Structure 1
Amino acid sequence: MSQNLPDIAFFHKLAEVASKQTLPRYRSSDNLNINTKPKEGFRFDPVTDADREAERAIRALINEAYPEHAIIGEEFGTTGSGPIKWVLDPVDGTRPFLCGIPVWGTLIGLLYKNRAVMGMMSQPFTNELFWADGKQAWTKGPLGEMQLHTRKNVTLSQAILHTTSAELAPNYPQVNFKELSEQTLMTRFGGECYAMAMLAAGQIDLCFEFSLQPYDIVALIPIIEQAGGVVTTLTGQRAESGGTILASANAVLHEQALKVLNF
């Protein structure tokens, strides 16, 4: 792997500068300026100054420390080129952010030769961080700092399934989500990126999303994989480019769930 990759301490710095833009605007109407942007399948896709200013702050720090790195961000697109690319979602879960529900997070991912190798999910309101350093996945919060591990021996009938919203299900008739939901222990909704972090932490076993962009998933791929989980598209391919995505606690469960979804 390239010796020019940053250490994980730099990810912590990026999360900190982002939180200085998001937290003062959370559960507050000050400097929020809610707008909407076009998104297929949604009547309302919000964007706020929290999204824009957090991404600006992250970009500024990256450009200062690593001017040779490319950056892909939800709000300001792609700048630069090369084998090392940062992938940013300054507020993943803007809807719960607007509702005051703390399942949103700042996603900071790193691609090396188009493969997700490091990542950070920061939830500053709950004072939690989830990250992958290239070898292992970790969390730090009110319960202390610990290594993340997915559940290894859970069966499909025992698995907890999560999807952020079933709103898009009618647009994907080829996806057998209803059957998967019926074969698992229970299904929960609305967790956004926090649900993916809980999969890495061994609290959730399957996370399925109908349509993700790269900035929605790149940061989370190494966190889940380095905790022992699996993340692919519905066709079993690498998930860095987004699309219809399944994340699972282990390889056996992943194969079982893919068979049901693709039936």
Structure 2
Amino acid sequence: MKLDVEIALAQRLADAAGAAIRPLFRADYASEAKADASPVTAADRAAESAMRRLLDAEAPRDGVQGEEYGVKAGSTGRTWVLDPIDGTVSFMAGRPIFGTLIALLEDGWPVLGVIDQPIGRERWIGAAGRGTTYNGTPVHARTCAQLADATLASTSPNLFSDAGGHRFMALAARTAHGRMLWGGDCYNYGLLASGQIDLVVESGLKLHDFAALAPIVDGAGGLMCDWSGDPLHAESDGDIIALGDPARLEDVLEAMAGRPPARDIAPI
């Protein structure tokens, strides 16, 4: 099947990125600040370059959009979206919870996603119509009976605007916030797909930050959407909700909107 070919290519892309990243982990490498003040390292650039060379050779007519080297137009309606190191700050700190993100979009919709953690050699793969796997073994997100039981994760409070931060904290107050997790970038979504945590909420992500995640979460029985509950696509604004148990979506949206839980609303 065609999707098998695409998954195999995505795996080779992850292999190529990992081979470029591993020699530089906890080693000497060049780094600098980009125009938006976020860091970029030689490992980011080497990993994306390795993936682009492979795509130029094996899928030359497809589009490519990468964090470090921008957009290459294609003619097939398909675009590979690359984030060579999602979590560069963690990489620079020697924390092996960053990951390489690889997505394939068809007409703007994510149909294939890979999270690859090259140090621990952990790899999640999700594809439309298929179950998500972790290192080749099927995984499934866990159920969550009520929002008060949910373990919530997010990368950093600094990513939220003032208004977004208020909405996030309104949600956090209704979750099991004693078990709330900061940090983790894409690794949180792999953990959610594997049934280790329940909920990830982020703000201000770019397409390369989230495109690979949706097929992985969805294929594990979870749900990814924006803060309005709409599915993610190339034009989404980057305000993201990932749920292990889709049954909790209305609870999350109510909490973020500042509405009381439905069971607490008095009948008219």
- Would the TM-score normalized by the shorter structure come out above 0.5? yes
Query: Which SS does the other structure have where 1:260 is aligned?
Result: helix
- In structure 2, the partner of 1:115 is 109
Q: Distance in 2 between matches of 1:175 and 1:229?
A: 25
Task: Letter of the 1:216 partner, please give it.
Answer: D
- In structure 2, the partner of 1:105 is 99
Following superposition, the deviation at residue 170 of structure 1 comes to: 4.7
- In structure 1, the partner of 2:68 is 75
User: RMSD of aligned C-alpha atoms?
Assistant: 1.7
Query: Which SS does the other structure have where 2:186 is aligned?
Result: helix
Q: Which has the larger radius of gyration?
A: 2
- In structure 2, the partner of 1:172 is 163
TM-score, normalized by length of structure 1?
0.91
- In structure 1, the partner of 2:266 is none
Report matched runs for 1:39-188 at 5 Å.
39=36, 44-81=37-74, 82-134=76-128, 135-140=130-135, 145-173=136-164, 175-185=166-176, 186-188=179-181
Matched, 1:253 2:248: yes
In structure 2, relative to structure 1, the CA distance for the partners of 1:182 and 1:13 (3 Å cut) is same
In structure 2, relative to structure 1, the CA distance for the partners of 1:67 and 1:169 (3 Å cut) is closer
Higher helix share: 2
Higher strand share: 1
Q: How many residues align?
A: 252
Q: Distance in 2 between matches of 1:163 and 1:174?
A: 11
Following superposition, the deviation at residue 4 of structure 1 comes to: 7.7
Query: Which SS does the other structure have where 1:107 is aligned?
Result: strand
Structure 2 unaligned segments of length 5 or more: list them. Answer: 259-268
Following superposition, the deviation at residue 101 of structure 1 comes to: 0.5
Q: Is the deviation greater in 168-177 or in 212-221?
A: 168-177
- In structure 1, the partner of 2:264 is none
Q: Distance in 1 between matches of 2:88 and 2:160?
A: 20
What is the identity percentage for the equivalent residue pairs of Structure 1 and Structure 2?
34
Contact 1:7 1:133 (8 Å CA) reproduced: no
Query: Which SS does the other structure have where 1:183 is aligned?
Result: coil
- In structure 2, the partner of 1:36 is 33
Q: Distance in 2 between matches of 1:173 and 1:229?
A: 23
Contact 1:109 1:119 (8 Å CA) reproduced: yes
